[in-house]
């Protein structure tokens, strides 16, 4: 499903180049549910940005279902991302002036009929145990409920690849556990590949497969930061 080959990514900061990712080879199979753990600054978000094509790798290849996002035109890439990748972020990113269901409807294909659209949204809100909250504004929902709306928005178009960046990072322990359970439940089965990056070890423990970012990435972000500290001290 996902194949990364020879990918390098760094950032230019103040005239110097800081390497962040160096991934010789990494594959994720269809239907895998994978938690990538690693400390803050180790390149987890950068990795998801490179996978989704939001950021371009400096070199190497990223293939999703045999397709290379960076060989596409910008509009083809946007279309591919909208239909094939669901993205869940730590801070939900719901539009405050829209109701929960309107926040979901804006990512649905415009050509879908209104009855089909309504039924599909209703059934997903039921599955996420939010059936009675779909006409509420984000401000009228708890943080856990807001994240459940963001999960529905990521899954409504049934994307084969779901990426989540610290989805429980701003939730208390109990709510985090509930959201993790829901995400795994809704992504069950072969048709969804789920990659979560997190430093929440409780969340990672619920995943059938866990990998530390240092097993994928040859650059140790923590050492790099420690090194930068030393340089400053000198």
Residue among 46, 99, 147, 217 that touches ligand ADP (CB under 6 A): 46
Q: Which of 31, 26, 9, 29 is nearest to 18 (CA)?
A: 9
Residue among 2, 4, 7, 20 that touches ligand ADP (CB under 6 A): 20
Which CB atom, from 45 or from 147, has the smaller least distance to Mg ion? 45
Q: How far is the CB of 136 from ligand ADP (least distance, A)?
A: 31
Q: Which of 5, 7, 39, 3 is nearest to 166 (CA)?
A: 39
Q: How far is the CB of 43 from ligand ADP (least distance, A)?
A: 4
Q: Report residue 228 as tokens.
A: 């930068």
CA distance 93 to 147: 9
Q: How far is the CB of 42 from ligand ADP (least distance, A)?
A: 4
Residue among 25, 29, 40, 142 that touches ligand ADP (CB under 6 A): 40
If phi > 0 it is left, if psi is from -120 to 50 it is alpha, else beta; for residue 60 that is left
Q: Which of 143, 167, 177 is nearest to 90 (CA)?
A: 167
Q: How far is the CB of 187 from ligand ADP (least distance, A)?
A: 21
56 binds ligand ADP (CB under 6 A): no
146 binds Mg ion (CB under 5 A): no
From the centroid of its chain, how far is CA 74? Answer: 20
Q: How many of the chain's residues bind Mg ion (CB under 5 A)?
A: 2
16 binds ligand ADP (CB under 6 A): no
Containing H/E element for 78? Answer: helix 74-84
CA distance 229 to 234: 9
Containing H/E element for 149? Answer: helix 143-155
**Binding window for ligand ADP (CB under 6 A); candidates: 44-52, 87-95, 128-136, 138-146:** 44-52
> How far lies 123's CA from each of 68, 116, 133, 189, in Å?
33, 11, 13, 18
42 binds ligand ADP (CB under 6 A): yes
Which CB atom, from 130 or from 213, has the smaller least distance to Mg ion? 213
Placement of tokens 């509009």 in the chain: 75
Could you tell which of Mg ion, ligand ADP, none binds residue 41, using a CB distance below 5 to 8 A set by kind? ligand ADP
Interface positions, 35-54, toward Mg ion (CB under 5 A)? 44-45
**Binding window for ligand ADP (CB under 6 A); candidates: 37-45, 100-108, 132-140, 180-188:** 37-45
Residue among 5, 6, 11, 215 that touches ligand ADP (CB under 6 A): 11
CA distance 113 to 108: 11
Instruction: Summarize as ranges the residues that interact with ligand ADP (CB under 6 A).
Output: 11, 13, 20, 38, 40-46, 221
């Amino acid at each position: 499903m996902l194949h990364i080959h020879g990918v390098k990514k760094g950032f230019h900061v103040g005239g110097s180049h800081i390497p962040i990712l160096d991934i010789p080879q990494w594959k994720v199979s269809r239907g895998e549910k994978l938690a990538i753990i690693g400390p803050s600054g180790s390149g987890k978000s950068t990795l998801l940005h490179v996978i989704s094509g939001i950021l371009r790798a400096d070199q190497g290849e990223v293939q999703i279902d045999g397709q290379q996002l960076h060989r596409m035109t910008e509009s083809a890439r946007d279309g591919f991302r909208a239909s094939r990748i669901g993205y869940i972020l730590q801070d939900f990113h719901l539009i405050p002036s829209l109701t929960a269901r309107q926040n979901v409807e804006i990512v649905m294909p415009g050509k879908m009929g209104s009855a089909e659209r309504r039924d599909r949204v209703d059934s997903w809100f039921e599955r996420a145990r939010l059936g009675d909250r779909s006409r509420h504004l984000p401000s009228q929902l708890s943080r856990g409920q807001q994240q459940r709306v963001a999960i529905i928005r990521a899954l409504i178009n049934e994307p084969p690849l779901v990426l989540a960046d610290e989805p429980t990072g701003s939730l208390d322990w109990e709510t985090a556990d509930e959201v993790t359970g829901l995400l795994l439940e809704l992504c069950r089965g072969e048709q969804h590949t789920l990659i979560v990056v997190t430093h929440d070890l409780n969340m990672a423990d619920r995943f059938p497969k866990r990998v530390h970012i240092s097993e994928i990435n040859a650059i140790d972000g923590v050492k790099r930061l420690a090194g930068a500290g030393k340089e400053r001290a000198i």
